[in-house]
Each structure stands twice: as structure tokens, then as C-alpha cells.
Structure 1
């Protein structure tokens, strides 16, 4: 039998998702800052290159940082609420031949 997840409680779920959104807002601001610093450093060291280079760098850095922070935020959400602990991990035993 699978245990009840703490995320089934609406109050706990609302608190957990609010914390997740707060983390994502912070990471969005951090991502914008890192992208701007990276573009400034690239412009300072290389000068005026093709605009496509700067667009690719901004999109690559931004997408990578936001995707990583979203996935790690979901890990923190799952672990921090006790959702991971409620999973029944008792697998049937298999005999080795």
C-alpha cells in the first residue's frame, strides 16, 4: 500500500509550491544577471562580433541555468515536503540462478 503524500494536503502543497515559485523567481534574476555579465565580458574581450553569437550565448546560458534550477527546485520540493519518504520502495525479491 502506498503511503499518503504530504503534498495531498492543500495547505502543505500551497506552501511548498509558493516556496518553489520563490526559488524560481530568485533563479530567474540570478540567470539574467549571469547572462548580462557574460555578455559584457565577451564584448569586452572580443569586441563587436556577430549579433548571432551574443544571442546564442544568451539563449544557451539562460536556458541551461533555468532548466537546471527548475529541475533542482523540483528535487528540493519533493524531498523537502516528505513526498519522497511516502513512496513504497519494497520490491519483490527475485532469486538468482
Structure 2
């Protein structure tokens, strides 16, 4: 069983800082997706009621942000060696 690099405090600080920077950029990208999505809706169906516009904007924003958060955690886990540090009971004994 390998140790995860996230067990090292300095590396963990670096990795989580990188994840926060990724999330900052993806928050900005989510706002961009909202603008594009609302623009496409306006072109497709015209003006929408205020409540419909707010719900559409929230749905677009949080969908993009949730996808970014989950993918970011996958990259963090894989890139730090955290995935390799588990004890896999299905792996043959000589590979452990």
C-alpha cells in the first residue's frame, strides 16, 4: 500500500490551493455559461418570465459548477496518488 501525497501537509496545501484556483476559474466559466444559455433561450423562445429566467440561470450555473467540482476532485485524487494508496482486496496478493 502506497502513501498518498495528500498525507504530506505541504503537498496537501499546494494541491488544495490548485483545486481552489480551478474552482475560481470554473465559477467564472459558469457565469459565462449562464450568459450563453440565457442568450440561447432568448433567441429560441423570446422573453421569459423573471422566475423562469432565474431558475434557468441557477440550473445552468450550478450544473456547470457541480460538474467542475466533481471532475476537479477526480483530478486531485488521481494526481496526488491518493487513488493508488488504497488497499484493493480484488488485486492479486503479489501485486499488492
Q: TM-score range by the shorter chain?
A: 0.7 to 0.9
Superposition map of 1:41-80 within 5 A: 41-80=40-79
- Runs (4 or more) in structure 1 with deviation over 3 Å come to none
Alignment-derived partner of residue 24 in structure 2: 25
Question: Please, which runs of 5 or more residues in structure 2 have no aligned partner?
Answer: none
SS of the aligned residue for 2:83 comes to coil
Alignment-derived partner of residue 7 in structure 1: 6
**2-side partners of 1:4 and 1:49: how far apart?**
54
**Greater helix share, structure number:** 2
**Offset from partner CA, 1:19-60 (integer Å, 9 cap, x none):** 101110111000001101211232234332211111111011
**1-side partners of 2:40 and 2:28: how far apart?**
18
Larger radius of gyration: 1
Question: Please, which runs of 5 or more residues in structure 1 have no aligned partner?
Answer: none
User: In the comparison of the two structures, how many residue pairs are matched?
Assistant: 92
